[in-house]
């Protein structure tokens, strides 16, 4: 999963521009699933068929969003500097001095107006991207208004830890892909729909439309979650390296007790370490899925991650592997 995660995180896929990351995932899974399609909004939906004659045959949806946060060009001044807005949750403080890469490969540096009297008043509207040009006309040869860029952050592995941009949520995509690999070997009684969703960072949009198409009996979202194990961090039970987290609650959902019990039983049956997640702010695709149609019993498996929405998100590879084993055991 290390090599796969490396390729996933380093591929462009800002919300609304997920084509490159979608193509990578298609090439990774197309020979291991029974059906694969891209819907009108851009979600990648892959079906792994089960045994239709099996007792208690069910239809599961596993959702992992493939988009990442980024920025969008809103104005180019006479000297060629690019003003920008956010795509998803971008912090101005985390952005200072960072490199961004546009979809066409052009790289720029993020900085802020030097006349700013107090850094505490920093806003994205006081910031700009410098691609090393000297005029609006020169910049427009490379970047147009509406072009999007992702933050740059190389993939680094140190022992069990891995650091990169876009772990949110390419880590979840890696887990979903590994579940496909596992089920290709073990088989499954259930029909499993793997949905690599779009525009999660803009409001869980892809998951909503995909769930309406599939109308699953159960759904599990795979995404990252924050940790409470760094100095003076917000108090939270989740720790890096202590196993995947079974979600109990976030701001978008109170997870269905049947799905929570299903995940707990799977973890105990397969001797997989796990934690419980209560995320006081933020949500994932499961928030949109569970209110689809007449309602879908839903839950989530979360990958503990430090420094979320930065170019240096950190995970444990052991947690990643155990998350894949947990989801596979639960739905198989």
Catalytic residue positions, numbered: 200
Place of tokens 């001797």: 271
Question: In Å, how far are 115, 241, 283 from 160, measured between CA atoms?
Answer: 43, 8, 27
- Smallest Cα–Cα separation from 87: which of 202, 206, 196? 202
Three-class SS of the chain? CHHHHHHHHCCCCECCCCHHHHHHHHHHHCCCCCEEEECCCCCEEEEECCCCCCCCCCEEEEEEECCECEEEEEEECCCCCEEEEEECCCCHHHHCCCEEEECCCCEEEEEECCCCCCHHHCCHHHEEEECCCCCHHHHCCCCCCCCEEEECCCCEEECCEEEECCHHHHHHHHHHHHHHHHHHHHCCCCEEEEEEECCHHHCCHHHHHHHHHHCCCEEEEEEEECCCCCCCCCCCCCCCCCCCEEEEEECCEECCHHHHHHHHHHHHHCCCCCEEEECCCCCCCHHHHCCCCCCCCEEEEEEECECCCCCCEEEEHHHHHHHHHHHHHHHC
Q: Which residues pair with 195 in a beta bridge?
A: 45, 63
The answer to whether 152 and 94 have CB atoms below 8 angstroms apart is no
């Amino acid at each position: 999963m290390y090599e796969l995660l490396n390729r996933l995180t380093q591929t462009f896929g800002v919300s609304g521009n997920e084509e490159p990351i979608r193509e990578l995932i298609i090439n990774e899974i197309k020979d291991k699933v029974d059906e694969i399609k891209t819907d009108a909004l851009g979600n990648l939906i892959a079906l792994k068929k089960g045994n239709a004659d099996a007792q208690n045959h069910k239809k599961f949806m596993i959702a992992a969003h493939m988009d990442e946060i980024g920025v969008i060009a809103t104005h180019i001044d006479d000297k060629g500097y690019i003003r920008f807005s956010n795509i998803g949750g971008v912090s101005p403080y985390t952005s200072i001095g960072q490199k961004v890469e546009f979809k066409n490969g052009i790289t720029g540096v993020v900085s802020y107006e030097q006349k700013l009297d107090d850094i505490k008043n920093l806003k994205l509207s006081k910031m700009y991207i410098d691609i090393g040009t000297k005029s609006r006309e020169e910049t427009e040869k490379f970047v147009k208004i509406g072009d999007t860029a992702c933050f740059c952050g190389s993939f680094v592995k140190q022992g069990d830890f891995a650091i990169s941009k876009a772990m949110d949520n390419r880590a979840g995509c890696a887990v979903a892909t590994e579940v496909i690999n596992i089920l290709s070997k073990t088989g499954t009684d259930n029909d499993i729909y793997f949905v690599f969703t779009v525009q999660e960072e803009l409001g869980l949009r892809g998951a909503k439309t995909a769930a309406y198409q599939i109308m699953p009996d159960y759904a599990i979202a795979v995404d990252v979650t924050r940790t409470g194990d760094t100095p003076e961090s917000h108090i939270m039970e989740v720790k890096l390296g202590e196993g995947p987290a079974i979600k109990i609650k976030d701001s978008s959902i109170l997870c269905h007790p049947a799905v929570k019990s299903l995940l707990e039983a799977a973890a105990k049956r397969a001797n997989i370490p796990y934690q419980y997640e209560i995320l006081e702010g933020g949500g994932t695709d499961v928030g949109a899925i569970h209110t689809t149609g007449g309602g879908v019993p839903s839950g989530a498996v979360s990958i503990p991650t430090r420094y979320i929405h930065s170019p240096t998100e950190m995970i444990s590879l052991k947690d990643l592997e155990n998350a894949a084993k947990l989801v596979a055991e639960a739905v198989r």
